[in-house]
Copies of this chain bind each other. A is one copy, B any other.
Amino acid sequence: MMKKVGIRDVATAAQVSVTTVSHALNETHASRVNPQTRAHIQSVAAQLGYSPNKLASGLRTQRSNFLGLVSDEIATTPFAGEMLQGAQDAAYERGWLVMILDSSMDLELEKHQINFLLQHQIDGLIYARMFHQEVVLPAQLAKTPVVLLDAVSGDGSNSSVVPDEVAAASTATTALIEAGHRRIGFINNRDDIPATHARLHGYREALDKHQIDFDPSLVITAAADASGGRVAALQMLAAETRPTAVFCFNDRMAMGAYQAAGSLGLRIPHDLSVIGIDNLELIADELWPGLTTVALPHYEMGSWAAERLLDEIEGKAGASQLHQKLDCPLIERASIAPPTPG
């Protein structure tokens, strides 16, 4: 059987985001996409044989299957929506609906929400965190199929999906190296979370691979927001031999690096190249020049979690759990240029 063409396939082929495809192929939202892009996406979708009518035939005839998705803090997380959308789209293509509950990190509320879902004959649950972390699953869920989204459990007893953080940082660093940079600063998060350690690892791995010595003075940690990135970048750029390029832990910190460069009269990318991680469109698209960054695959993680959970529920999965790390693609905009001689 041929694999059904999905919205992700169209996005990849058209080199746009899943959200843009979704808007372009939807009557109500099409006006948000510029006409050229829209025509391009429609043409790609037609070539691939993608049908924007996502309704699985099963939904009309089967009982209404539903999955629960419990997450910690949708309200304060700008890319939460992409994960939810990915899970929902994948479930819907197979005839399932997803019920979303936001526990706001209140463990008592979470317990009630999960009990409620179990009472309502939930068939499985996606247990989501809004950034990659280790979790302990509530005991109530011992007998329910559960897949962890952007999280892993210490005992590995549930399938899980997270971004490949090491590869993401290596991709970012390599993009700077390939543009000709050798003196590359890394502004890292100061929080003790998996991404902090893994991204430092990936940065060093890329340097090693290109025979560039690791210089600890080129790594500064700070709060993972624009203000933290700005202060760290100002410090880094005041050094006698300043880096010609900066890799920032995330796009918010990269926004701070832009502010630091601006205040020092350095132009991006001519005087300083910058790259982030996240592809948070509200920042990466809106900065001027646009921020080249490495996308965290939030939509794809949500989609993977729903697919895997349904495979487990429907008996299509093998006996062993899967622990998936998803690729993080480079998204090129305009913040990288070769270093200026001298």
Which residues of A are interface residues toward B (Cβ below 8 A)? Answer: 19, 22-23, 26, 28-29, 53-55, 59, 64, 66, 73-78, 80-82, 84-85, 88-89, 92, 97-102, 104-106, 108-109, 112-113, 115-116, 119-120, 225-227, 230, 252, 255-256, 259, 262, 280, 282-283, 285-288
Contact = CB atoms under 8 A, between A and B. Distances in A.
A105 B23 CA distance: 9
A97 B115 CA distance: 11
B255 A286 contact: yes
Contacts of A226: 285-288
Given A81-B77, A106-B54, A288-B230, A99 B101 contact: yes
A259 B285 CA distance: 13
Contacts of A64: 112, 115-116, 119
Contacts of A66: 116
A196 to B, nearest CB: 14
Nearest to A100: B100
Given A19-B75, A226-B288, A102 B100 contact: yes
13 contacts: A19-B75, A22-B104, A29-B73, A73-B81, A74-B74, A75-B82, A77-B81, A97-B101, A97-B116, A99-B101, A230-B288, A280-B282, A282-B282
Contacts of A108: 53, 55
B252 A282 contact: yes
Contact of A88 (B54, B78, B102): B102
B105 A84 contact: no
A22 B73 CA distance: 11
A78 to B, nearest CB: 5
Given A66-B116, A85-B102, A120-B120, A225 B78 contact: no
Contacts of A26: 104-106
Contacts of A102: 81, 84-85, 88, 100
Count chain B CB atoms within 10 A of each CB in A81, A84, A120 and give the residue with the most: A81
Contact of A109 (B74, B92, B99): B92
Contacts of A98: 101
A81 B92 contact: no
Contacts of A92: 109
A99 B69 CA distance: 10
Contacts of A286: 225-227, 252, 255-256, 283
4 nearest A-B pairs in the assembled complex, by CB-CB distance: A75-B81, A75-B85, A226-B286, A100-B100
A113 B92 CA distance: 11
A180 B114 CA distance: 55
Given A75-B85, A81-B76, A102-B85, A59 B120 contact: no
Nearest to A68: B99
B88 A84 contact: no
